[in-house]
Amino acid sequence: MFQKYLNFLRGISVNWFGKIGVVLATSSFITFIILEFARILGIFTNQYMGLITYLTFPTLFLIGLVLIPIGWWRYTKQRGKSTKELLNERFSPDDVVAHQTGSRLFLTVAILTLINVIFMGGASVRGLHFMDTPEFCGTTCHTVMNPEWTTYQDSPHARVKCVECHVGEGVDALIDSKLNGARQMVLAAFDIYSRPIPTPVHRLRPARETCEKCHWPDKFYGSKLKTIIHYDRDSTSTPKYTTLGLKIDTGHPGERAGIHWHIGKENEVRYASVNDERKKMIWVEVRQEDGSFKRYTNQRLHEDAHAEDIRTFDCIDCHNRATHIYEDPETAIDDRIRKGLLDRSLPYLKREALSAITANYPNQAAAMSGIEAHLSGFYQRNYPRIAGQKMAAIDQAITVLQAVYNRNIHHQMQIEWGTYPSHIGHRGTEDGCFRCHNQNLVAEDGSTIAYDCTTCHSILSNEEDSPFKYLETPSETDRNAMMHEYLKNEFMNWY
């Protein structure tokens, strides 16, 4: 028995394949055990450690295991003898003892293999499980994923795993994601990925396999009242209220009810967009009751507008920022004032905060000192007395604005204000819903997709001093006049 081991060891150690194989397999095994113990004991808490423990060592171990038989095979070729002959050197082939030890060797190898399989299986199951955690996805490639990780932690989905939206269910999805992940690791390792990461993410699983596992379309009904507060840029940063009754209903077959009508079971909308960017529509189609599709074609596009894919409309066409929610500078400040983090009693707070965070800074560090210099400079120059009295409030404003900046702007990934716009609604220069709901997409019968202002929401107040202004107005005619006035002024020229 012992003789056979010696023969085997001698055989595989005469060439490099065998030598490297043995060293790799044993050393990675021992290292894995040591690291795993250290991790269990809490000595390492670093995420990279987990990556190394679960990915690198099992891989090295496997390579070692493959190299050993190659080494042995080369040895048999070299010596021109069979395995059996080589192992049994010094014994005659008919030796009874040799047969016995032969089967014992087989048993030992079998047991060792079993142990290896259990070890490898355990390691890779744990490895796969570990790779499913948001910590892994969000922090392993720190610079690359930092923006997504930051926005994710601050979103309604902070407790939903990355893989629940990005991978979906089933073995196909799993394999696909691991292959894609491996490709991304290579890109990250050689620093050849694009900055910012391009959107739309074409490889995202269909929403039916992800979003609809937790939110299902039948559950949207009625309307949702939403009050949005904007603060003016005047000296007191006066609050202005906009209240919408968002018609979020899915509706019933045969009836168009509201915003989630698009994703009702019996409805289907599909479209082709310029360069598949989902921004400028070439045409949009809606399935009709008889199964045919009614097409609305964009009258304002050049003939060479190009699309490769036809996309079936789903959640992500509106909720493209379901979790990686970047704020625009104005809403970010409004939100911090509303939460009481920024003190509105500081003169021109809104205006100055806005110009502090939107100035052009070359990097994160310059922004931090720039924001501080801007704010404390402004109050010291213009309101020296207040600067003295409200030092704490100014200091807090600086800290809060620096945090707003770091949450939304990531120089290393070239993410600036507006890099990842949201498709919900129609803010500023973003068309959002108006990508389709506009007068330029026209069907053969001359009809367009509805775009009047109350298709999607009622308006109960718009930049007024109270949240329900139009309800407070005495007579219906006055109310209509007010509505009409602001529609005329603000929105009629939007396209």
Residues numbered 100 to 139 that lie near ligand HEC (CB under 6 A) are 134, 137-138
Q: In the complex with ligand HEC, which residue's Cβ is closer, 3 or 139?
A: 139
CB 47 within 8 A of CB 139: yes
By CB under 6 A, name the one of 201, 365, 366, 481 that touches ligand HEC.
201
Q: At its nearest, how many Å lie between ligand HEC and the CB of residue 274?
A: 13
CB 44 within 8 A of CB 38: yes
Q: In the complex with ligand HEC, which residue's Cβ is closer, 65 or 211?
A: 211
By CB under 6 A, tell whether 231 contacts ligand HEC: no
Q: At its nearest, how many Å lie between ligand HEC and the CB of residue 199?
A: 4
CA dihedral sign of residues 205, 211, 217, 221: negative
By CB under 6 A, tell whether 262 contacts ligand HEC: yes
Burial class of 449 by CB neighbour count within 10 A (0 to 12, 13 to 18, 19+): buried
By CB under 6 A, tell whether 317 contacts ligand HEC: yes
The span from the CA of 256 to the CA of 286, in Å, is 12
The span from the CA of 386 to the CA of 390, in Å, is 6
CA distances from 246 to 144, 242, 243 (A): 36, 12, 9
Q: At its nearest, how many Å lie between ligand HEC and the CB of residue 227?
A: 10
By CB under 6 A, tell whether 264 contacts ligand HEC: no
CB 100 within 8 A of CB 60: no
By CB under 6 A, name the one of 451, 467, 473, 479 that touches ligand HEC.
451
Of the candidates 430, 421, 418, 406, the residue with the CA atom closest to the CA atom of residue 153: 406
By CB under 6 A, tell whether 351 contacts ligand HEC: no
Q: In the complex with ligand HEC, which residue's Cβ is closer, 94 or 191?
A: 191
CB 129 within 8 A of CB 167: no
The span from the CA of 242 to the CA of 256, in Å, is 26
By CB under 6 A, tell whether 421 contacts ligand HEC: no
Q: At its nearest, how many Å lie between ligand HEC and the CB of residue 50?
A: 15
Stretch that binds ligand HEC, among 41-49, 110-118, 214-222, 297-305 (CB under 6 A): 214-222
By CB under 6 A, name the one of 53, 298, 320, 402 that touches ligand HEC.
320
Q: Cα 400 to the chain's mean position, in Å?
A: 25
Q: At its nearest, how many Å lie between ligand HEC and the CB of residue 116?
A: 33
By CB under 6 A, name the one of 271, 361, 379, 405 that touches ligand HEC.
271
